[in-house]
Structure formats: structure tokens, C-alpha cells
Amino acid sequence: MDRLEQTLPLTREGVQAAHVLIKQHVHLTPVLTNTTLSNLASAPQTVEALLGTEWEGRTPARPKIRFWFKCENLQRIGAFKVRGAFHALEQLRQDPATFERLKTSGVVTHSSGNHAQALALAARTFGIPAHIVMPTISTPSKIAATQGYGANVIFSGSTSQEREVVVNDVIARTGAMLIPPYDHPAIILGQGTLCLELQEQVKEMSGHSLNAVIAPCGGGGMLSGVALSCIGTGIRVFGAEPSFQGCDDARRGLLAGERITTVKSLTIADGLRTPLGVHTWNVISDPAKVTAMFAVTEDQIKAAMRLVLERMKVVVEPSAVVGLAAALFNENFRTLIEREGGESGWDLGVVFSGGNTTVEAIGKLFSGQERDVGKVGAQGERVAENVAG
């Protein structure tokens, strides 16, 4: 893949260099705080909320958490993915002969939606054809948006293996260059730029640094980039995944000591249905870069999403809130913060990775549910109703 095959440094300096290249193409997305959610996370869960979980019978943790939300849902195309896509094409633009050739052959990728839109926009910006392989079960609004950026959309099955078969066919027919959705240094470094911004924005707003950042993890490109951006800063990095149908492949892989190569899950967090790649595994499996991974349930994702929609008035997709869900409901993570944060607690950065959803999708997600969406939702609502926002 010409210049993309060249080794890019997977370092904090590499992320900084990527930021210089893409600043003109991306929004400096806002960082928001929310007293209600911080107080909710700092209150113990009820004993009833832990019934039937692995923490049943345990004294609920009482961490002190101050949230800082990096709102990549307000990024161009509605998600962080635009960062990696523009960085990949900017890298290719450094080789004029290769870049000129791409104006005929184009680029290709596979994605459930956000990387699809990101590459379609970046390719259109540079006058390059884009061939996007999307699973047939992709969110209709994401398909429409990708086509709206002028991309040629080709449909495939939902697993990464099925997507890759179709991608290889496109390459054979067109000569298009593959721009991977997550498992490539150019993509990883581009995604990490969001956390460089987060670090500086928190310092400007508060006068001090974050203690930790938690980010969603699917293929791991963004989490890997976040981890690289924090090297040498003292900021700890954590990842969060859905547990539904074994979608927590990174967490399970770390426990087993080897990368899990397939995921077959229909979690509501549709942007996180892919397994880690080779490059992302190498970063995320390094405990010096990523401290730990945590998993959350579908109900916990829904409860976190409801709180963001109703309390923050911010539109997010389910994938975006898995990190928040871990901070609210995963007792292993909450206990760690309580133990290591002590009385002063932690300033915790939370990445809202995207907001590509619709009113219809949100309505369907919560249709048929009572106001108390199970133990998890009821706990969240009871506490939130008694906290001044």
C-alpha cells in the first residue's frame, strides 16, 4: 500500500505529528462536564442493583469521580473516525505519484458505518473515488450518509471475514487501495489526536491534569491511539466493551493471553462488533499502555445512554457510552477508582465516540420499556432525581 505500508511510529510523538497533519480537516470538539453524572457515579449502587451479578453480596464501591466528556459525537460525520481517515489520506498525499494514481483507482474499506462515512468524506475532499463495503445490517442512516458523501457502497455479511472477502474482490476489480478501519498505524495515530486535545482542554478548564481516560473498544484503533497519546503523561488508560454474545474480545483475550480473532455479536453498540487487529492488540495488550478492560451489559449501555440524553441533552449512539456505563455500573472499575483515587478521587476523561443515530432508532431502543429500565436503569434514575444538576 505504498506510503501506508511504511512504518509510522506508534508513539506519543507520532500522535502529535498526526495532529499537525489533520487539524485543518477536523473540528476541535468540546469537552463537557456534568455535575449530575459525576455525583451519580460517586454514589454507591444499591445492594438490589448488584443482585444476580458477579458482585452480589459485595459492599458497593464509593468512588469519587469527576467526569470530563470528549464529545466526538459533534465531530465531522458525527464520530471520531474522521481523524484516522484524513490522516491516512494525508500520509498518502506525501507521495504525489501514489496520490495521483488514487484519483483513478480510488480507495476501499469495510465498516459498519462511522469509518465508512469518514473515508467517504475524506476521499471526496481530495477528489478520490471511495468504495465502501458495509454489512447489510448497518444502520440505515449510516448507509445513507455514506452514499451522500458520494461513495460507492457494496453490501456484505456482518462478520469481519465476510467483509474482507468483498473488499478483496473490489481491489481485484478496481485496483483500489485499502484504508483499514482500525488496524493500521496511520489510523491509530489519527484517532489518538482526540485525546491530545482532551488533555489540553482539561488543563485549560481546570488547571490540572486527568487521572485517567476510558474509551470504547471495538477494533481498538481509537483506544490504541488514546493509549499512545498518554505515554509519559501519568494518565492511565482503560477500555470498555459490550459483553453481549462475547463482544468483549479484548477483555477475554487479555485474560487468555492471546488475541481473539472473531466476534459474532449483535450488541446494540454496533460500532464495537469487530475484534482487535494485530496492531491494536500489540498496543492494548501492553499493560504499560492500557491498564485494564471492562465489560458492560446491554441494559447498562441503555441506562447510560438514557442518562446522557435526558441529563446532558446530548445525542449519542450506544457505542459512545460504554465507557460511561463502566464507570457507573462496573464494580471492578469503580472499586479500582475508590482504592486508588482515595479521598481526592479521579478526574476521568470519557470519550463519547459518536452520535450517529436517529430519533427512530432511539425510540425503538427504548420502546416497550417502563420508566424504570430494570435494576440498572432504576438505580440511575433514583439517584439522578436526587442530585442537583
Instruction: Give residue 376's pLDDT.
Output: 46
Residue 141 located in a structural domain:
yes
pLDDT of 231 > 70? The answer is: yes
3 state SS of 389: coil
| Residue 81 a catalytic site member | yes
Closest to 320 in 3D by CA, of 337, 336, 338, 308: 308
Final residue before a domain boundary, out of 165, 184, 203: 184
User: What distance in Å separates the CA atoms of residue 42 and residue 36, rounded to the nearest whole number?
Assistant: 10
**Helical residues (DSSP H) of the chain, grouped into ranges:** 12-22, 35-42, 81-93, 96-105, 114-126, 140-148, 160-174, 185-206, 221-229, 249-256, 278-284, 298-307, 322-329, 331-341, 359-366, 374-385
* Assigned domain for 24 exists: no
Considering the domain boundaries, does residue 13 fall inside one? no
pLDDT tens digits for 339-374?
999 999 999 999 999 999 999 999 999 996 544 333
Looking at the 3D structure of the chain, how many domains does it have?
2
Catalytic residue among 42, 112, 138, 224: 112
Tell me the C-alpha distance between 22 and 26, whole Å. 6
The model's pTM is 0.92
Q: How does pLDDT run across 86-111, given as a tens digit for each residue?
A: 999 999 999 999 999 999 999 999 98
Is residue 204 one of the residues assigned to a domain? Answer: yes
Q: Say what the pLDDT of residue 280 is.
A: 98
pLDDT-derived band at 4 (thresholds 50, 70, 90) equals low
Are 200 and 340 in the same domain? yes
322 inside domain: yes
Q: What is the average pLDDT across 248-272?
A: 95
Per-residue pLDDT reduced to its tens digit, 278-300: 999 999 999 999 999 999 999 99
What is the distance of C-alpha 118 from the center of its chain? 14
- Of the candidates 70, 81, 302, 375, the residue annotated as catalytic is 81
Is residue 289 annotated as part of the catalytic site, yes or no?
no
Q: Which among 136, 153, 184 is the end of a domain?
A: 184
**CB 242, CB 296: distance < 8 Å:** yes
Within-domain flag for 6: no
Among candidate residues 163, 184, 205, the one where a domain is terminated: 184
DSSP collapsed to 3 states, 160-181 = HHHHHHHHHHHHHHHCCEECCC
Residue 94, C-beta contacts closer than 8 angstroms, at least 6 positions apart: 3
What's the pLDDT band for 3 if we cut at 50, 70, 90? low
Query: Above 60 in pLDDT, residue 378?
Result: no
- Judged by DSSP in three states, 205 sits in helix
Helix (H) or strand (E) holding 108: strand 107-110
Q: Looking at the domain assignment, is residue 87 inside a domain?
A: yes
- Determine the structural domain holding residue 280 and report its residue range: 31-77+186-385
CATH code where residue 316 lies: 3.40.50.1100
Q: What is the pLDDT of residue 138?
A: 84
Is residue 4 assigned to a domain?
A: no
Residue 389 has pLDDT above 50, yes or no: no
Q: Which amino acid is at 363?
A: G
Predicted confidence (pLDDT) per residue in 115-164, tens digit: 999 999 999 999 999 999 998 888 788 899 999 999 999 999 877 788 88
